Amino acid sequence: MSLLNNKQQFAVDQTINGENILITGPAGTGKSYTIKYIIELLKENNKNIGLTATTGTAAFIIGGQTVHSFMGLGLCDGTLADIFINIKKNTIIYKRLVELDVLIIDEVSMLDSVLFEKISDIFSYVKSYSLNDQELLNKPFGGMQIILIGDFCQLAPVNGFYCFLSKTWKQANIKVVLLDELVRQNDDILFQKILQIIRKGKCTDNILKVLNALKDTQFGNEIIPTKLYPKNINVDKINEIEINKLKETGNKTYIYKAEAFPDNLKTISNYDIELVENSQVIITRNIDISIGIVNGMRGVVKELHPNHVIITDIEGTVHIISYYKDIIEKKGKSTKSYILHMPLKVSYALSIHKSQGMTIDALEIDLGENIFTCGQAYTALSRAKSLQSIKIIDVSKQSFKTNLYVKEFYNNIRTD
């Protein structure tokens, strides 16, 4: 392994000291490299590690699971006592949590404060009960070490507040390690410096000129750029146009109807999907994280069959995608409802939210007035590898904004 810089080494030292830490910073500063180094070091020290992330795509990248799956949380909408009882019934998951030494959570910007506190409380229950130690009930995460990775300047939680605003964050005494030295080895240092500036919600006149020049980017005939838009209405329109083109040239189509139990479940029609041969699609569920068939994986439809679809991923690997069952558990009811559906979605265009955690080789982005929330523009641009791989449809200075709580969070740690 190459040498670590000072900030990366500080993160490693804090880990060895047993501290709870957050590894954060802009794109290209070595967050992924640092956590991989730490994971190997923990393994060498025979630590039981929980490799988790808030999204299936991010979990696959680090070779782990979503935090919900790893902890057996389900919908996580019951009382803490109910959740603990359900976990304890699952001997595999319960044993996993009892024996865990370090919990790692990637893409932590999307982890809301309520879930963060629940995760902590669940481990306090588990560790206290298994070790017969009442004092652990009052310790964040039951006294277990946690390592968080992510950039709060990217997308916020879908609901609720950032996890750093929770009472558990302070109680856990999380040490923040801000990586700010560019270490990514590529020829586009200009792009990395632009990302560092817009991450703070700023867009200078010079940056605007560079981005406006990307409206003329041309891709080779064999490359179809993925279009990223802030709003689903734009995504749906683009996908409809491309699907109609394939239909007009005679490509086979098939409508995959969803089934439900009980059959009077509302919104069932929202799960129906029409697919076309040779269309680009995206997986919408974590089917098999161990081999990368995760929420967010892209592919091309090759064959349509009544009960399954054959697709190839971006590396040419063939996958068979079958119907997937979403189980719906309702409080106070012994029977479980479910929806059986084909977990695929047309993906010529994606929402910026769906793209977080991805690295996309050819990108077409709308950074105009449709950007509606903090972190969207920065998240979209940082999906690309270089300026040469981006085409920009529209761009506005006002699109680059950072949440005030996030600004305060980073302003406070810069003085450390």
Mean of pLDDT values over 150-159: 91
The domains of the chain are located at 6-178, 189-224+362-413, 256-345
Predicted local confidence at residue 416, as pLDDT: 45
Torsion angle of alpha carbons 308, 313, 319, 321, nearest 10°?
Answer: -30
At 316, the pLDDT band (50, 70, 90 cuts) reads confident
Residue 243: pLDDT band with limits 50, 70, 90: very high
Distance between CA 199 and CA 206 in Å, rounded?
16
The mean pLDDT value for 24-52 works out to 92
> pTM value?
0.81
| pLDDT score of 79 | 85
Architecture of domain 6-178: 3-Layer(aba) Sandwich (3.40)
Whether residue 255 is predicted with pLDDT greater than 90 in this model: the reply is yes
Query: What's the whole-number average pLDDT of the chain?
Result: 88
Residue/partner pairs of 328-336 with CB below 8 Å, 24 or more apart: 328/265, 329/74, 329/75, 331/77, 331/78
**Chain segment 159-168, per-residue pLDDT in tens:** 899 999 999 9
193 CB-near residues (< 8 Å, 6+ apart): 182
Confidence tier at 302 by pLDDT (50, 70, 90): very high
Token digits for 28? 């290209």
Among residues 124, 130, 129, which one has the least CA distance to residue 144?
Answer: 124
How are beta strands 390-395 and 363-367 bridged, if at all? Answer: parallel
pLDDT (average), residues 209-234 = 84
Residue 14, pLDDT > 80, answer: yes
What is the band of 214 on the pLDDT scale with cuts at 50, 70, 90?
very high
Q: Residue 192: its pLDDT value, please?
A: 86
pLDDT above 90 coverage of the chain, percent:
61
